Amino acid sequence: MTPGRKNDLIALAVIAAAVAVVFGPACFFTDVLSDDTIYTERRHLLTLTLANIRLWSRPVLGLWGPLTGYSFMLDRLVWGPEHFMFGARLGNVLLHFAAAAAFFCGARLLKFSPVPAALAVLFWAVHPQRAESVAWLSERKDVLILALGLWSIVFFIRFMRRKSTGVFLLSLFLFAATFFVKPAMIGLPAVLAAYLWSRCRWAKPASCLKYTGAFWGVSLLWFAAYKLVFDPVMDVGSRGIAETLAVMGWRYGMYFWKTFFPVGLNPFYPHFSLTENSLLPLWLTGAGAILLLESARRRHTGTLRVHLPLCVCFSAAVFPALFQIGDVDYADRYSYFPAVFVVTGCAFALCRFVRRHPAAEKTAVLLAAAAVLGMGLMCRRQVFVWESQESYMAAVLSAPRPNYRMVITETVRKFDKGDLPGVRKNLDLLRSDYGELSPNRRKIISFFADSLEGVLLVRAGQAVPGMKKLERVLWDPAWELLLCTPYGYPRCVLLTAAGMYQKAGMRDAAAEVYRRTAKFYGAFEPLEKEFYLALAALCLGNKTEALARFERALALSPGDENIRKNIAALKGEPIEKSAIR
């Protein structure tokens, strides 16, 4: 074994050990947080069957990414139902290490020596902003897509050195696979073109297009398919293009500065408002980039071939945020990909400085090692935010102004616990303190507050005023905005309304509400689709259809006694107590 190869293996072992020490505790977390309910809580959807494979090929929470679901199915197949949660969490950690290993290999291909490469990768890998992507099980998307994307870059660089068709196809395949996770890598062809321009002095536009054309083709093909099939909404909507660009700028600035000053980290989506959030990070980032490029141009034109491509790469990594997937603005975890290029750029600059001042080499290494240690300690502490519902919500709500969606989530938790004064307080907070949000978001808050007050009134025996509030939401043309609240809450509202309609003899209205429940929850759970459509058929007196749907539901869940009793009641068989509801 050559000394260089041995040093690389030692560096990779150190990176693996650091990742294990910092993120290892997450493997033993047991609580289900937020989106985990969709991805991992419904274990029967993770069994390897053709029906489940088709099921995961549908969009989940507005995002098409079947590989995420398939990876959880693989975890369950390998670890079994008893150890699935441990295996799935370990899978996140292993994928994070795979991305770190790709980062290290890429740095070595870019002529970094082992020690600077290892320090740069460690700084990125154990940074506190990585905690959310690795420790939160639902963010399998982040670790999976970056592992695929970085290895695609590594194999592309290898191809450019050896011109192996097999290596090129492997790089292209890994890139194409990222679109089966989420669209964050759509700008990767720009990264590859920037590499060709900076590292291959002979590269001209025609040459860049020749070697990256297939990657651009995949990106354009995916974009066209996504627009035609899934119809994503550009992140302009009711906010307008000016606010959208401001949010984009905020992302650029915060992803850059938080790489070095990881303060104010907050799980989920930190609240963003043009009137409240300073755009100083954006202006500082832009000014810094301009000064860096001008300095590079004046001192040595060739330096532009390092810093300008890194600016392009960083921009390409953040650009997908222009497309909105869900009702979001900004999140620390979205720095997972862009931070690779921020760290790489700083490592380049530091290595160039040390090369000109050899006496500073040991000092630079010691400072970098101290920074890695500090980031690792902060990151390990941040990992425990994701240990339980209590720690997660405490961290989210500790922000000066939490995201309105998390205030809604906390209100639902208080409602479930019977904390009615807390519910009232939160509803007043939502109505009074979030008035500057976009019209759609204000409507979500209004729907949530009205519907929750309606449910509370119905449960308190005040059916008439309660139903008026519920109907104000359910028969509004935009009622589906209610589905932007926590996953189980719309079911509570819909079933409360359906039950009251049944009691009042309004069977058509009850059937319509049951059909809406089936449409929303049945989109990802065939059992619930059949069950609620059966109840809708019962409301309309169609016992034949109701029986057929209950039997289909029983086939999907043979052990469900409630469904069995419904079937027995419809067949006229003797049962102790009817469960029809």
Residues 6 or more apart whose Cβ sits within 8 Å of residue 381: 128
Domain ranges, residue 36: 3-390
* Residues 365 and 439 both lie in one domain: no
In a domain, 578, yes or no: no
Of 337, 360, 390, which residue constitutes the final position of a domain? 390
End-to-end CA distance of the chain: 71
Of 343, 363, 390, which residue constitutes the final position of a domain? 390
In a domain, 453, yes or no: yes
* Residues 429 and 544 both lie in one domain: yes
Distance of CA 470 to the CA centre of its chain: 32
In a domain, 313, yes or no: yes
Which CATH number is 418's domain given?
Answer: 1.25.40.10
In a domain, 498, yes or no: yes
In a domain, 520, yes or no: yes
What are the beta bridge partners of residue 233? 324
One-letter identity of residue 250: W
* Residues 262 and 327 both lie in one domain: yes
How many domains is the chain partitioned into structurally? 2
In a domain, 576, yes or no: no
Report the alpha-carbon distance of residue 114 to residue 259 in Å, rounded.
Answer: 22
What is the full per-residue pLDDT of the chain (581 aa) written as tens digits? 566 788 899 999 999 999 999 999 999 999 988 888 888 888 888 988 888 898 898 888 778 889 999 999 999 999 999 999 999 999 999 999 999 999 999 999 988 999 999 999 999 999 999 999 999 999 999 999 999 999 999 999 999 888 889 999 999 999 999 999 988 888 899 899 888 877 765 556 777 788 899 999 999 898 888 777 665 443 333 455 666 666 777 777 888 889 999 988 888 787 766 666 666 777 777 777 777 767 666 665 556 666 777 777 887 887 776 555 444 567 888 889 999 998 998 888 888 888 877 788 888 889 999 999 999 999 999 999 999 989 998 998 888 888 888 899 999 999 999 999 999 999 999 988 887 777 888 899 999 999 999 999 999 999 999 999 999 999 999 998 888 888 889 999 999 999 999 998 999 999 999 999 998 888 778 888 999 999 999 999 898 999 999 999 888 888 788 888 888 888 876 544 434 44
Alpha carbon dihedral 186, 191, 196, 199, in 10-degree steps, equals: -160
* Residues 325 and 423 both lie in one domain: no
Report the alpha-carbon distance of residue 135 to residue 145 in Å, rounded.
Answer: 16
* Residues 20 and 120 both lie in one domain: yes
List b or e across 225-240, with b for residues whose CB sees 16 or more CB atoms inside 10 angstroms. ebeeeeebeebebebe
**Cβ distance 207 to 181 under 8 Å?**
no
**Cβ distance 252 to 285 under 8 Å?**
yes
In a domain, 581, yes or no: no
In a domain, 459, yes or no: yes
* Residues 386 and 402 both lie in one domain: no
Shortest CA distance to 89 belongs to which of 58, 61, 131?
A: 131
